[in-house]
Structure 1
Amino acid sequence: MAHGTGEHQTVGGLLAAFNVHLSKAQLAELSVLLFVFTYAMILLEKFFHRTIAALIGASLVLVIGVITPEKAWEAIDQNTIFLLFGMMNIVTVMGKSGFFHLVAAKAVKLTKGSPARVLWIFSLLTALFSAFLDNVTTVLFMAPVMINIAEKLKLNPIPYLIAIVLASNTGGTATLIGDPPNIIIGSIAGKTFNDFLIEVAPYATLAFLIGLVVMHFMMAKGGFLKSKATSEELQEILSGKVDESLLDRRLMKKSVTVFLITIVLFIVGHNLGLEPGVIALFMATILALISGLSPAWILEKVEWTTLIFFMGLFMVVGALEVNGVFEEAAQWLIKEIGTDIHRGILIVGFTSALISGFVDNIPFTMSMAYVLKGMEAQMGSVMDPLWWSLSLGACLGGNLTIIGASANIVTADIAERNGYKIDFFRFMKYGTPVAVITVVVAILLFYVEHAVFGGI
């Protein structure tokens, strides 16, 4: 077991076995080193699957002893795991009912077969859904539909899938319930749904539109907005009827009803004291009970590699948190800010975006939020803009890399299951430019509003 020994401390594992006592600063450095090692393996996905990379990282922090098994288990965000697991089950049953085939057929007619319309309509829908659901639920729902449509129109689904992921992260930035960092900020800072609509939504909306224009330009340049289907094939697709053999309408009614009830519970759940993960787990169980499908079959369809990847990564990031790395980062930010709120907007916003692009933004936002809460006790409401800067940076920064947000990894795994590989650098080709441009525009405009036009 871990115990402090003066300035030095032993956590467990090999450090304890060999009676090695490290200071908290040394443990923090070792945690960072192991995180960088894990991250390097994730980058080298040609040689290591990202789930194996995360498991190796998690195993090392435990075996070496920079975090105890108890603390590692606590570091796993159960709400995220329950949410992923529950929604994966619900979406699996919806898929079995033929719901996504039906939606794809209707959507193709709406787009009239135009790849540009597919990009814009589905990005807009995804951003809208993400503002009122969580990002993960949205992409679990939208990704299968997008793959179906792209295949019907003979388009490469990969850039379209990345486009809806980027839209889900920017759309989720707009509201209190759209992204986990906002939920954390709302809870710790005592901010309401309307506060986010007034202070964050305008910048998130602008970021989404700019990001979509950038994505459109990159896809057009890559030749992905040209239809591959012939006019005859297109006419057949647009006029074709849905294959009824693919549909189980009774199961569809059950699964869609459960899905809609789940959405409503997500929206009102905060007032009921229910976490989204608990709601998803409960409703998935209800659907499994009434669907008539084999539980074994449903569970086989769960993206276990995704769940285990997140569990491993949470443990590696947990070592950073337990050993004070986030606390140090937050304290450095506060030292740099001093009492200059305008400078603080830039530092908090850009630092949050950078960190959130490479580590899970939930523990960082949690650490930063408590530091800002302490700062608020001394300075009062004058530092309110720092909360909104944290929100914009932590949420929009998730588009930087494939591991910057849960939705990114989930979509990549759905794509892989359908035979399409979205690797780390393929995602960055689109995600990084969109993230950089949207973060810079949103944070700078927010800064200008307050520093130049006296928003505070």
Structure 2
Amino acid sequence: MTSILILIIFITAYIVIMSEVINRGLAAGLGGVCMLLVGLYDIEVALFEHIDWNTIALLFAMMIIVNICSKSGIFEYTAISLAQLVKGNGLLLLIMFSLLAAIGSAFLANVTIAMLLVPILFTLTRLLNLPPVPYLIAMILACNIGGTATLIGDPPNMMIGQAVDHFTFNSFLIHLSPIVAVIFLIVIVGLSILYRNQLYVSREKQLLLESLIARKYIKKDGALLRSTGVLFVTTAGFVLHPFIHVDLTTVALAGALLLMLLTEPLYDTEEILKQVEWGTLFFFIGLFLLVGGLEEAGFIDELARKIIYVTEGDMKTTTILILWATGLLSGFIDNIPFVAAMIPILHEFKELGIVNLDPMWWSLALGACLGGNGTLLGSSSNLVIVGLASKEKVYVHFREFLLIGIPVVILSLFISTIYIYFRYLRDFM
């Protein structure tokens, strides 16, 4: 009876979130608290097992860094420079931002690059009088696709990298970057065709852009060198993460605290903390509690085992089913607990005599990361971008994104199926 109640709470909360009848953070929080009230798990379990404080702390730290950096004028300078580079062409800007988001997500993690690029994006769209939603949707898709390519690009890849001893940073690049490049190219071509009529920039705005001097937007209050210096060091820490063995959250928190200390004479710490996107952070906490209820009730673990049961352990069938099941489900439930449930199950395959599990691991990584494009709830970077947009009074509606995200996921999984078959499975046929 409790399991049914948990499922009802989860589905109801998701329907309310998708319908947007009330604030998303409030809906997720109410659903999470209902999970606690049911009594399936207590507050200690919720706080220390189900809420991913690493993710919350990483987001919190990056919000502080981005907020302080924005006060120096560096985002305005970058936005104007990029726009002048492509002569104010709206379509080329879409392609450029998508490419920056994809490459940045591969080497900085998609959540980080999302927080860095969104302020630049809004500066540009205001300047050129462009609709921001097409750019936001393109950025969401690019962040998830690009983050699939590397060990540090998306949390599921980090988990898989820790679970498989012989998977290194270069392993992910070698095995996943080729298919990621193909999917990214196809998706960007599709988006360019879809939005080509919405990205027109008037000649008046182009002339205005040409007349602007980017460096004049840099504020001479001493914050520029401090903020960009800390941002550079923090970014370097992210890139060197596999080598220095300091986790991303620690690097981000150290950067945020150092930057607040260095700029404390210029910007009041209390004001900086007030400008953190607390609504987005509470939304994440609510989602973690919701998915935690499914975990405690055994739904996620049972689903993972059903996949193995249906395929009877057959190498080829299991590999493809893992790809599609993970990809389709990751749009609606957090891919992190699902990957966590799948890891020990895949390890059990060694006992069945399957020596080479690599195709299954790559299928799990592709499905979990690419599936994040299915809905706005599919990945952390989606929620961050939507949260930052709402601060600017711009709203990406659930249904609007769904109509683009689901076809992109199905296309991505279809292309991935062909790739996995010819690269890994054909020799097993």
Q: TM-score, normalised by structure 1?
A: 0.90
Q: Deviations over 1:131-173 (max 9, x none)?
A: 0011111010011111111121111011111101110110000
Would you say 1:108 and 2:83 are equivalent positions? yes
Tell me the SS of whatever aligns to 2:151: coil
Alpha carbons of structure 1 residues 237 and 185: separation in structure 2 relative to 1, 3 Å: same
After superposition, what is the alpha-carbon deviation per residue over 1:229-274, rounded to whole angstroms, capped at 9, x for unaligned? 2x23312212311373662462121111111111121223344443
Instruction: Work out whether residues 127 and 171 of structure 1, in 8 Å CA contact, stay in contact via their aligned partners in 2.
Output: yes
Residue 128 of structure 1 pairs with residue 100 of structure 2: no
2:238 partner amino acid:
F
1:189-222 deviation line (CA, Å, top 9, x unaligned): 22111211122111111111111112112212xx
Q: Are positions 1:376 and 2:350 aligned together?
A: yes
With over 3 angstroms needed to count, the CA separation of the structure-2 counterparts of 1:196 and 1:96, relative to structure 1, is same
Is 1:264 paired with 2:239?
A: no
CA RMSD across the alignment: 1.7
Determine if the alignment matches structure 1 residue 436 to structure 2 residue 410: yes
Aligned equivalent of 1:276, options 248, 271, 292: 248
Amino acid corresponding to residue 290 of structure 1 in structure 2: L
* Cα deviation, residue 364, structure 1: 0.8
Cα separation, 1, equivalents of 2:199 and 2:334: 32
Q: Which amino acid aligns with 2:117?
A: M
In structure 1, distance between residues paired with 2:232 and 2:218: 22
- 1:11-59 CA distance string (max 9 Å, x none): xxxxxxxxxxxxxxx44333222111110110121x2111010011011
Q: Which residue of 2 aligns with 1:207?
A: 183
| Letter of the structure 2 residue corresponding to residue 144 of structure 1 | P
The equivalent position to 2:338 in structure 1, one of 349, 355, 364, is: 364
Residue 299 (structure 2) pairs with residue 332 (structure 1):
no
* Contact 1:92–1:298 (8 Å) recurs in 2: yes
Q: Which moved more, 1:347-356 or 1:323-332?
A: 323-332
**8 Å Cα contact 1:139-1:168 kept in structure 2:** yes
The amino acid of 1:196's aligned partner reads F
| Matched residue type, 2:206 | L
Matches within 5 A, 1:43-442: 43-45=18-20, 47-73=21-47, 74-190=49-165, 191-220=167-196, 223-227=197-201, 229=202, 231-242=203-214, 244=216, 247-248=219-220, 250-292=222-264, 293-442=267-416
SS at match of 1:401: coil
Structure 2 distance, partners of 1:245, 1:110, is: 17
1:68 is matched by which residue type in structure 2? D
* Separation of aligned partners in 2, 1:296 and 1:430: 40
CA contact (8 A) 2:316 2:428 kept: no
Measured in 2, the distance between the counterparts of 1:328 and 1:339 equals: 16
SS state of the match for residue 118, structure 1?
A: helix
Partners of 2:428 and 2:126 in 1: how far apart?
48
- In structure 1, give the amino acid aligned to 2:253: L
Q: Residues of 2 paired with 1:371 and 1:260: CA distance?
A: 40
**For 2:217 and 2:67, how far apart are their aligned partners in 1?**
18
The amino acid that maps onto 1:171 is G
Indicate how the Cα distance of structure 1 residues 377 and 260 shifts in structure 2: closer, same or farther if over 3 A, else same. Answer: farther
Query: How has the CA–CA distance of structure 1 residues 72 and 149 changed in structure 2, closer, same or farther, with 3 Å as cutoff?
Result: same
| Unmatched segments (≥5 aa) in structure 1 | 1-25
Cα distance in structure 1, aligned partners of 2:186 and 2:205:
33
Within 2, Cα distance between the matches of 1:270 and 1:36? 38
2:353 partner SS: helix
